[in-house]
Structure 1
Amino acid sequence: MGEAIGEVLPLALGIAISPIPIIAAILMLLSPKARGTSVGFLLGWVLGIVVAVVLFTLLAAVIPEGEPDAAKPVAGTIKILLGTALLFLALRQWRNRPKPGEEPALPKWMAAIDTMTAGRGFGLGFLLAAVNPKNLLLGAAAGVVVGTAGLTAGEAALAILVFVIVAASSVAIPVIAYLVASKRMAAPLESLRTWLVHNNAAVMSVLLLVIGVVVIGKGIADF
């Protein structure tokens, strides 16, 4: 189980260090309906991560098990394909990065955050976690790791729990901090939002590159 948790932690970190969801959460915390929309967004974000990793864990569990020390060509091939897709996303992020002096473009839906309800915040959080291509690939990779590790149901549940806690932490921390001390958090949140907006592409391209290489390496090791 320890090996499986060790493999899913970098994947969870890849989801956690996702500037767009963090920026969305911060904008909600600075909006007129901060508490309702941010809590709804957090719940949707957590549920989306859970659904993605559990779904792929169940699908991966169908792959026939071999001997503990035997090669796992099917799981290895899936990991290599997922890692390659992550490298493709890293390249796309890098190519789409803003030029020096150019103001980064943000998704148009962010302009509607001030008028969002808790329900819409929930739906947005779920979509960003479970449907976003990058997060879906990372959730799939984690599911393959857990589903092919030969774990018991309890061990698999624990590995998934660790994955979800780490993956959701970057959105959960600012939301919880705001609920505890809203007045103190306004200025730090705005500073963090500004930094993330201007460094989104660079952060994600480097992160996806590293994780993609790691996943491919794990896939090769399964042969």
Structure 2
Amino acid sequence: MNEAIGQILPLAVAVTISPVLVIAGILLLFTERPVSNGAAYLLGTVLGIGGVLAALTVVAATQNLSAGTGASVGAAWLRIVVGVLLLGGSLRRFRARPGPQEEARMPSWMGGITSFHPGKSLVTGLVLGAANPKNLAMAFSAAVAVAGAGLTVGQSVAGVAVFTVIAVLGVATPLAMVLTMGERARPRLDTWKNWLRQHNSVVMSVLFLVFGVVLIGEGVRQL
């Protein structure tokens, strides 16, 4: 159990450091219904990330991931391929970074986020949590770690829960600040939002580079 947790913790941290995911959550806290929208978005993120990991873990658990088996070798090569794709993504992100005097661009849909209601906030969190390629890569690696550790059902559920809780900290923290600090939290959140927006490409480039290397290393070790 401890070994599996040790493997999934850094993967969960990679998910929580997702600029677009965090920025969207912060923007929702500047709407007319900040707490309702923020809570709905957090719930959607939990369902998206946790649901994907749970599904992948169930699928991985049906395979014999013991060392040397066909499934184990296949999972190892898939990790290597995903790692290589992340390295390619790292290079693309780095090249797409804004210049010193250039303002970073964010997805066009964020322009209308101030008019979101809780239902739309929940769906947004669900989609961003579940459909993000980086999140899928991290969830896949975490699912292989959990399923390959020979855990009981209860331990596997605990592993999924631990991953999910850590993965959503980037979304939960701004909401917690608004709940505890009220209006005093807004200037700090605005600073965070602007910094993440401007450095989104660099942050993602570094994350892709680090975890691309990690996944390739894990895949090679598993062969």
Q: TM-score range by the shorter chain?
A: over 0.9
- Offset from partner CA, 1:11-66 (integer Å, 9 cap, x none): 11111000111111111111222112111111001110111111111111122243
1:177 and 2:147 correspond: no
The equivalent of 2:43 in structure 1 is 43
1:56 and 2:49 correspond: no
What is the CA–CA distance in structure 2 between the aligned matches of 1:145 and 1:105, rounded to whole Å? 36
TM-score (norm 2): 0.94
How far is 1:70 from its partner?
5.3
Q: 1:85 to 1:62 in 2, by over 3 A?
A: farther
TM-score (norm 1): 0.94
The equivalent of 1:101 in structure 2 is 101
The equivalent of 1:80 in structure 2 is 80
Percent identical:
39
What is the CA–CA distance in structure 1 between the aligned matches of 2:57 and 2:81, rounded to whole Å? 17
User: Structure 2: which 5+ residue stretches go unaligned?
Assistant: none
The equivalent of 1:114 in structure 2 is 114
Equivalent position amino acid for 1:57 in 2: T
The equivalent of 1:129 in structure 2 is 129
What is the CA–CA distance in structure 2 between the aligned matches of 1:91 and 1:15, rounded to whole Å? 19
What is the CA–CA distance in structure 2 between the aligned matches of 1:70 and 1:137, rounded to whole Å? 23
Tell me the number of residue pairs that the alignment of Structure 1 and Structure 2 aligns.
Answer: 221
What is the CA–CA distance in structure 1 between the aligned matches of 2:156 and 2:75, rounded to whole Å? 17
- Offset from partner CA, 1:56-109 (integer Å, 9 cap, x none): 11111122243xx65732221222122222222222211211122111001111
Equivalent position amino acid for 2:194 in 1: T
1:213 and 2:213 correspond: yes
User: Structure 1: which 5+ residue stretches go unaligned?
Assistant: none
What is the CA–CA distance in structure 2 between the aligned matches of 1:88 and 1:56, rounded to whole Å? 24
What is the CA–CA distance in structure 1 between the aligned matches of 2:63 and 2:87, rounded to whole Å? 25
Once the two structures are overlaid, the 10-residue window that deviates more, 102-111 or 154-163, is 154-163
1:33 and 2:38 correspond: no
1:157 and 2:148 correspond: no
What is the CA–CA distance in structure 2 between the aligned matches of 1:57 and 1:170, rounded to whole Å? 23
What is the CA–CA distance in structure 2 between the aligned matches of 1:199 and 1:139, rounded to whole Å? 24
RMSD: 1.4
Residues 90 and 206 of structure 1 are in contact (CA less than 8 Å); yes or no, is this contact kept in structure 2? yes
Residues 65 and 150 of structure 1 are in contact (CA less than 8 Å); yes or no, is this contact kept in structure 2? no
How far is 1:204 from its partner?
1.0
Other structure's SS at 2:168 match: helix
What is the CA–CA distance in structure 1 between the aligned matches of 2:88 and 2:51, rounded to whole Å? 24
